[in-house]
Structure 1
Amino acid sequence: MVANAGRFVAGSLIDSPLSELDYVFDVNVKGTLMCYRAAGKLMIEQGRGGKIIGACSIAGKKGTILGGFYCASKAAVRSLTQTLATELGKHSITVNAYAPGPVDTEFMREGGEKMAKQLGFPDGATFMKTYMAQAPLGRIATPEDIARLVSFLASEDSSYMTGQTLTMDGGVMMD
């Protein structure tokens, strides 16, 4: 089971209304937890082990300006992943997450435009070029890049890995 959902709201932790925290946490944290719980219960009942995978983000590993609610929500996903991995290991169920940097999707483009405006960039493309200049690989991820990582986490090749959040960001954050 892959819990792949996310909401992003650009804004300051000090000034953003708490309703935006609820908006982000309802999907990113509560939604992920609900998926994790449902999958875990079913996998335990079936007795065959399983793979549970969650969508984290590099923002869940390092806070960013104007991304506080999103960062906190993805850090919570990372913590839920680790906690559930400790609970479900005895059932041969692994629980891992992936933490991409920017991915070339509509979600990223919309968020990039909002961030660009608030940070004083002329547009989202200029904002993303700044990010890409930091990445040793010089680009952002494609959906196919992420699909390959998720496929690995879902495969038997990752059978002895649990409680991990794998970063895929072109080398911007090297763990």
Structure 2
Amino acid sequence: MSKTEGRFSGKTVVVTGASRGIGAAIARRFAREGAAILVSANEARVEEVAAAIVHEGGRAASFLCDVTDKAAVTALYDAAEAQFGGVDVSVQNAGVITIAKIEDMTEADWDTTMDVNTKGVFLCCQEAIRRIRSHGRGGRLINTASGQARQGFIYTPHYAASKFGVVGLTQSLAKEVAREGITVNAFCPGIIDTDMWAYNDAAWGKLLGSYEPGELMAEWVRGIPMARAGSGEDVAGLVTFLASEDAAYITGQTINVDGGLIMS
């Protein structure tokens, strides 16, 4: 048995944005370590993630949810409690990005990005705190920020603003709930081999020069000290650590998981 096997037995974990990429990897990792998982996203393929976890012997269910809708968020946590019991860990991972020159960026681009990436984190944290308080045994909130919460990048001012907002929200909530045994932390993934980064490579590549698909990402990866893109499992390792008892004295922090791309 590995030293982490079963460390989340008896725990209920909610993961948003879990239909693919980082969110799906986080959910699978928690399930392997014994947690009951409610995986959520706004697309039906999240059901496949839950089914795969169950097939592998884990406990999981799925729930379609728009994290910008307060009633839907309330229903998400209702479902978690109904199926698995009180929520212990909530991972706010749902996120979107668009890439465009400022003159081409629409108000809708701005509003959607801020609503999902920042308001969605707020609504889920608000509901998760209410549920964790109700059972009185403490808990963990973990929010997905970005390397762009450290340094905004070209053609994505709305995305950078939304992720800087996640860091501020994390710090503020951490101070509010610390004495209740609730920790609130965030993480900043760098270049991770996911569908989102395939979009990023194509969209930035078109605006920054005549890059063929994959060329720009490969160029950026060469600038990472560890000389590789990250994986969802790389991120999941950090997230499960932050959710564990080993991280009981860590709160209000934002941790980079990017192979050394940004050192701060």
Q: Aligned-pair distance for 1:130?
A: 1.6
Q: Aligned-pair distance for 1:161?
A: 0.4
Which residue does 1:42 correspond to in 2? Answer: 131
- Over residues 48-71 of structure 1, what are the superposed CA-to-partner deviations in whole Å (9 max), with x where a residue is unaligned? 110000000011110101121111
1:145 to 217, 220, 234: 234
Which residue does 1:104 correspond to in 2? Answer: 193
Q: Aligned-pair distance for 1:14?
A: 5.0
Which residue does 1:154 correspond to in 2? Answer: 243
Which residue does 2:80 correspond to in 1? Answer: none
Q: Aligned-pair distance for 1:15?
A: 4.2
Q: Aligned-pair distance for 1:121?
A: 3.8
- Contact 1:29–1:73 under 8 Å retained in 2: yes
Mapped to 2, the partners of 1:55 and 1:78 lie a distance apart of 9
Q: Aligned-pair distance for 1:90?
A: 1.5
Which residue does 2:51 correspond to in 1? Answer: none
Mapped to 1, the partners of 2:185 and 2:103 lie a distance apart of 32
Q: Name the SS of the counterpart of 1:95 in structure 2.
A: strand
Mapped to 2, the partners of 1:122 and 1:27 lie a distance apart of 29
Q: Does 1:4 align with 2:4?
A: no
TM-aligned CA distance change 1:46 to 1:67, over 3 Å: same
Larger Rg: 2
Q: How does 1:14-33 map to 2 (within 5 A)?
A: 15-33=104-122
- Aligned amino acid, residue 117 of structure 1: K
Mapped to 1, the partners of 2:119 and 2:228 lie a distance apart of 32
- Aligned amino acid, residue 99 of structure 2: A
- Contact 2:138–2:181 under 8 Å retained in 1: yes
Higher relative contact order (CA 8 A, sep 6+): 1
Q: Name the SS of the counterpart of 1:134 in structure 2.
A: coil
- Aligned amino acid, residue 160 of structure 1: Y
* Range with bigger deviation, 113-122 or 31-40: 113-122
**Between structures 1 and 2, the one with greater helix share:** 1
TM-aligned CA distance change 1:121 to 1:6, over 3 Å: farther
- Contact 1:11–1:68 under 8 Å retained in 2: no
Give the TM-score of the pair, scaled to structure 2: 0.64
Which residue does 1:94 correspond to in 2? Answer: 183
CA RMSD of aligned residues (A): 1.1
Give the TM-score of the pair, scaled to structure 1: 0.96
